[in-house]
Structure 1
Amino acid sequence: MRLNPVLDALGTYPFVRLDEAKAAAVARGIELIDFGIGEPREETPAFIREALAASLAPVSTYPKADGLPALREAVARWIARRFGVAVDPSTQVVPTLGSKEVVFHLAEVLGGEAVAVTTPGYPVGARGALFAGREVVELPLDPASGWLPDLDALDPATLRRLGLLWLNFPNNPTGAVAPPELLERAAALAREHDFVLACDEAYSEIWLAGDAPVSALQLEDLTNVVAVNTLSKRSSMPGYRSGFVAGDPTLIAALKRYRPNVGVAPQEFVQLASVAAWDDEPHVEAVRARYREKRDLLWPALQDAGFADAGGDGTFFLWLRTPDGEDEEACAVRLLEHGVVCAPGSFFGPGGAGHVRFALVPTPEACAEAARRLKP
């Protein structure tokens, strides 16, 4: 049969390759501690699970594409508490099936010839752009500036062709946190050249040190600006697939027109459980403390093994330079033989060469065991 040529050109998704390598290691009898894929493995708090169970109804109906009013209102309450910003839940918020689906689909809603993405970075924004028939413009993150993009590297001709610029802060994979000035500059360019600035803020609630990260929603003018967030990391709910996009009412209205065509609204019982999650903060503070505990268990052993900290304090990732300039894929293979799984930096684009990423998702006990295995 004839397949979409974009699918053929993409090759295997990087983390599928990692799964294949892990399966081969397990077949050789190696017991793995997996820091490779950033899937939270914390227990979903009991009150959220109880809210889900209480929301199950005898008759199931299709969820509406614009989400339950109760969920949109809960998101707006959380944005007000967390960022001190008032958004209209009826015109500026729409629930999403986690954050990945809107990162993939947003290019299909917008015009323009090109989509700009940062590198190294989460690959889904670029892949969504390609499936939408857009050119992908890679904007390198500069390690000398703390892994921030140089927006001036986008020349006027490129800016005029853009329909969408994706920024991801706190950043996957580097852990970098954006200063307000970067977001203000990007939003000004979006308005000047009539493209959309979309900020993937999936890790906004996980930081290992320092101040809480800022949000694009704190910008004074949200024209041509949206932010995406999710409960997957904040509330340890990756399997629930529940998030939101918020910002410019014109774009939110366009998304509400688009989304019935692709059927990606979360189930209503998930939405009702999400209301409980967004309305509670103590469980998030506990999640942050647990990730910090795991970092403290693992980081000294990584230092002793020759890794150097190369990233920021956002997210639950450790972004590390490999020992003595070792090739990142060779480094990952070497560690795999000791039962420690990490992600090569090249999985996130050419800017990741010479780096590996450790996702602090195993249990504290597993982190302590990994530290033992890392000893020279």
Structure 2
Amino acid sequence: MRLNPVLTGMRPYPFLALDKARQRAHDRGLILIDFSVGDPHEPTDAAIRQALIDAVEERSTYPKATGLPELKEAIAAWLARRYGVQLEPRREIMPTLGSKEAVFSLPFIALDKSSGKDTVVICEPCYPIYERAALLAGARVLKLPLRDENRFLPDFSELPDPEWERVGIVWVNYPNNPTAALASLDFYESLTRLAVERDFLIASDEAYSEIYFGAPPVSALQSHDRSRICVFNTQSKRSSMTGYRSGWLAAPAELVQGYNFWRPLAGVAVPEFIQRATIRALAQEEHVVRMRAAYAAKRELFLELFSDRGVEVVGKEATFYLWCRVPGEQTAEAFAARLLEQGVVVAPGSFFGASGEGYFRLALVPTLVECQRAVEILAEVL
């Protein structure tokens, strides 16, 4: 049997290799504290869980891929409160099965290669799905590095003029995974003007918008012109609902209609009881405030440790990640392997692209007690 050569030609998803390393450590009896994957350990608020239970009916029916009108209205209301933007719920918002399925689907829906727009620009280090989805959709991929000296913002002038003729989608992600950097509204306004000039879609992954430690991050939706902007977000981080797979996108009506065509084919409708729980989650902010306070406490533990041990934290503004420079002359993977042998798991920066070499990412997702134990371990080995 022959498989898609694009799929089989991809190197294994980086975190699969880390899974195997973790399993080998477990087999040797090592107890691990895992800071490698952004899966929150914070409990989902009781009211959200109860809303889900209350919505489970005796007779189960197929959910509609378009999503409940009530959820679209709840998302629009949250966007109005959070960013002061007004969207038309039925035409400009789409609930999704987590944000990942919508992120993956975008190049299949929004890239018209017959027009010559066959290229997706990604800014790396980054979430690997942007590139992999583009390649599987048959697109070209161009990468722009995110550098410390530019506050981990892309320099779009690095892309030659002839290349812009072929660009159909530009991915940005702020607050950024893995670098924890933020973007300003001026950044989005400038990118919007470029999108109009060069005729491309801005895909803005804002999954970490509600995890911050200073002023609230801005959204691409606050740009003066939203006609070329698609924003993705999720309840996974805001409300510790990773297992619920509840996300959404906000985009021009034409693109939302494209998702309306695509998603029934892909079979990615969100169960209604999850949508009902999401409505409850979006109506509340108290649990989000508690969540930020929990991450802030864990963050302070590691900032103090790394300061004492001379480990440079180059990204810490937002998200529940710390983006740190690997100490000494080790590679990122060698450093991560050394920590794993001590029972602390971090993600090598190289997992997120070539520009991530020399860094490691620490996700503040274990419990506070686990974080305190990890700090004691790292104090002995750094």
Moved more, 187-196 or 74-83: 187-196
| Structure-1 residue corresponding to 2:118 | 113
Cα distance in 2 for partners of 1:295, 1:225 equals 32
1:141 partnered with 2:117: no
CA distance in 2, matches of 1:62, 1:117: 36
Contact map agreement 1:169 1:201 (CA 8 A) in 2: yes
Please give the root-mean-square deviation of Cα atoms over the aligned residues, in Å.
1.1
- Provide runs of 4+ in structure 1 moved above 6 Å: none
Aligned 1:88-237 pairs, distance under 5 A: 88-110=88-110, 111=112, 112-207=117-212, 209-237=213-241
> Which residue, out of 257, 262, 266, partners 2:266?
262
Preserved CA contact (<8 Å) 1:318 1:357: yes
Letter of the 1:296 partner, please give it: E
Structure 1: gaps (5+ residues): none
| Range with greater deviation from structure 2 (47-56 or 37-46) | 37-46
Identify the match of residue 359 of structure 1 among 352, 358, 363. Answer: 363
Aligned pair partner of 1:294 in 294, 298, 307: 298
Deviations 1:239-293 (A, max 9, x none): 0000100022221122112211112121111001100001111110110000001
**TM-score, length of structure 2 as denominator length:** 0.96
Work out the number of aligned pairs and report it: 375
- Amino acid paired to 2:259: L
Q: Which amino acid aligns with 2:107?
A: A
Q: Distance in 2 between matches of 1:100 and 1:302?
A: 32
**Secondary structure of residue in 2 paired with 1:374:** helix
CA deviation after TM superposition for structure 1 residue 306, in Å? 3.5
Q: Which secondary structure does the structure 1 equivalent of 2:146 belong to?
A: strand
Instruction: Describe the SS at the equivalent of 1:118.
Output: strand
The letter of the residue matching 1:369 is: R
Structure 2 gap segments, 5+ residues each: none
State the alpha-carbon separation in 2 of the partners of residues 337 and 305 from structure 1.
19
CA distance in 1 between partners of 2:29 and 2:305 (Å): 24
- Output the CA distance in 1 between the equivalents of 2:269 and 2:192: 28
Q: How far did residue 298 of structure 1 move?
A: 2.5
Alignment of 1:2-81 (within 5 A): 2-81=2-81
Task: Please show how residues 340-351 of structure 1 align to structure 2 within 5 Å.
Answer: 340-351=344-355
Matched, 1:369 2:381: no
- The one-letter code sitting in structure 1 at the alignment partner of 2:368 is P
State which drifts further: 235-244 or 217-226.
Answer: 217-226
- Measured in 2, the distance between the counterparts of 1:47 and 1:158 equals 50
> What TM-score does the superposition give when structure 1 sets the normalisation length?
0.98
